[in-house]
Amino acid sequence: MDKYITKNQIKMKFNQISLFALVLICLACNNKVKKTKNNDANEVAKVSTDKMTFEYIGDAAQQEGMHVWGSSPVQGKNGKTHLFAAQWPTKTQSDFSGWFKDCEIGHYVSDNPEGPFEYVGVAVPDKDGLFNSPHNPTISNIEGQYQLCFIVNEDNDLKTQRIVMYVADDLNDTWRPAKGAEPDGTILRKTQDPNTWNYTAKLGVSNPSLIKYNGKYFLYHKSVVKKETKGYVYVYGVVVADNVEGPYIHTPTRVTDPKMPLEDAFAFTMNDSVYMLSRDFRGALGNRGGGLLWKSEDGFSFPAEKTVRAYEDLQHYVGEEYLKDAISYRGKKDGHLERAQILFIDDKPAYLYLATGVQVKPGYGSSSHVFKISFE
């Protein structure tokens, strides 16, 4: 018997319901089941349910000798679940800085969204130089086409971060740059307009999330901008296009409140509203190991007063004993959960994938974890 806890052993019945689930229940409880005409992976039918559980399943993508940071899921046309994850060797940098120096995007696949996932190979390689360290991928399936968005930098310089969009008609890693992008796929750079919200961004633009909403295409992104007083703050904005492949146009104002900093937002639509699931970067509504759920009525403003706690740290779901001998590569030993990405099945949120820098398996780096969202 393996000394590590298996999926079935680790399920904890009384920790299965999260605030994230409860909020979505409230949003859906007065609606009857209704199929949508649009089959976009990030759009969901109105759902009627009495109960939705949020159940920890176990590890998703991981590799021995590698950090696997986050995993963005999508179902292929054959029903298999594909994960696209940032990865780099654990031996390269002991301080976790390999994410912006030696990263590449790995491709994993499974017959089951819960895994086990098999490593397929490198989807986007690190080219160094001007296309350095592709990181934080997010994949979407809009109008029958797959879109893979991620960030790169130039020569390990975080001030040069920008967003790339690749597209493909299949999941065989036959990616090409989006038509509205630069030749290398760059779809978004830091604005040069002093009247735009992230003109003062010190780390470029990063951490994209793409949706279709009201006939337009919204690409959400993070910038670290100057505060009105002193210092910098993590906030999100959005660019908009008439075509999914761009070009995308900057909007003048940010979409989140600087009083509630966030990181790694994943955008999705539900019941005619737009939501973002993000890391609670400064612990605004709990400890920094958990996350936030944001709501917008128009996709352009996510008021802080409508934002709620979404999920907790890994320890909350697996227990302190499980992590007592764990190695923490990033964050505290309670297991900060970051890089939220949702898998939609039949137009409903079905699984949530989160990354953590805490690892219980010797020889393995950071990994992603999967949670099941169940409607009863």
pLDDT (tens digit per residue) in 215-238 = 999 999 999 999 988 899 999 999
Number of C-alpha atoms within 13 angstroms, CB side, residue 70? 25
**Which residues on neighbouring strands pair with residue 206, listed in sequence order?**
222
Between strands 262-270 and 273-280, the pairing is: antiparallel
What secondary structure does DSSP assign to 351-373, as a single string? EEEEEESEE-STTB--EEEEEEE
Query: Is 296 among the domain residues?
Result: yes
Between strands 338-345 and 52-59, the pairing is: unpaired
Pairwise CA distance, residues 34 & 47, whole Å: 7
pLDDT digits (tens, 9 = 90+) for 281-308: 988 899 999 999 999 999 999 999 999 9
Question: Domain containing 369: what range?
Answer: 7-375
Domain count, the chain: 1
Query: Is 293 among the domain residues?
Result: yes
The pLDDT, as a whole number, for residue 166 is 98
Instruction: Fill in the amino acid letter for 201.
Output: A
Q: What is the mean pLDDT of residues 234-254?
A: 97
Number of C-alpha atoms within 13 angstroms, CB side, residue 287? 13
For residue 13, what is the DSSP state? Answer: G
- Determine contact, residues 111/153, Cβ cutoff 8 Å: no
Q: What is the mean pLDDT of residues 191-203?
A: 96
Q: 144's torsion region: left (phi>0), alpha (psi -120 to 50) or beta? A: left
pLDDT digits (tens, 9 = 90+) for 99-118: 999 999 999 999 999 999 99
Percent of the chain with pLDDT over 70: 85
The pLDDT, as a whole number, for residue 375 is 55
Using DSSP, state whether 66 is helix, strand or coil.
Answer: strand
Where residue 19 falls among pLDDT bands split at 50, 70, 90? very low
In the predicted model, is pLDDT for residue 338 greater than 70?
yes
Q: What is the mean pLDDT of residues 5-28?
A: 42
* 39, 90, 178, 265, 277 from 293: Cα distances, Å: 23, 31, 30, 9, 5
- Determine contact, residues 264/280, Cβ cutoff 8 Å: no
Predicted TM-score (pTM) of the model is 0.88
Query: Is 2 among the domain residues?
Result: no
The pLDDT, as a whole number, for residue 376 is 55
Going along 42-80, which residue ranges are E strands? 52-59, 66-75
Under 8 Å CB-to-CB from 211, ≥6 apart: which residues? 40, 42, 43, 140, 217, 218, 220, 267, 268, 269, 274, 299
Q: Which ranges constitute the DSSP H helices of the chain? A: 7-10, 19-28, 314-318
The pLDDT, as a whole number, for residue 151 is 98
- Determine contact, residues 108/122, Cβ cutoff 8 Å: no
The pLDDT, as a whole number, for residue 53 is 62
Pairwise CA distance, residues 333 & 314, whole Å: 9
Q: What is the mean pLDDT of residues 354-372?
A: 96
Least confident of 32-36, 72-76, 185-189, 266-270: 32-36
What length is written for the chain?
376
The pLDDT, as a whole number, for residue 271 is 84
Query: Is 1 among the domain residues?
Result: no
In the predicted model, is pLDDT for residue 76 greater than 50?
yes
Number of C-alpha atoms within 13 angstroms, CB side, residue 147? 30
**CATH number of domain containing 157:** 2.115.10.20
Higher-pLDDT residue of 303, 376: 303
The pLDDT, as a whole number, for residue 118 is 96
Q: 346's torsion region: left (phi>0), alpha (psi -120 to 50) or beta? A: left
Query: Is 229 among the domain residues?
Result: yes
Pairwise CA distance, residues 135 & 137, whole Å: 6
The pLDDT, as a whole number, for residue 253 is 96
Pairwise CA distance, residues 96 & 328, whole Å: 11
In the predicted model, is pLDDT for residue 17 greater than 50?
no
- Determine contact, residues 271/32, Cβ cutoff 8 Å: no
Where residue 94 falls among pLDDT bands split at 50, 70, 90? confident
In the predicted model, is pLDDT for residue 23 greater than 90?
no
In the predicted model, is pLDDT for residue 21 greater than 60?
no
In the predicted model, is pLDDT for residue 180 greater than 70?
yes
In the predicted model, is pLDDT for residue 45 greater than 70?
no
- Helices (H), strands (E): how many in the chain? 3, 23
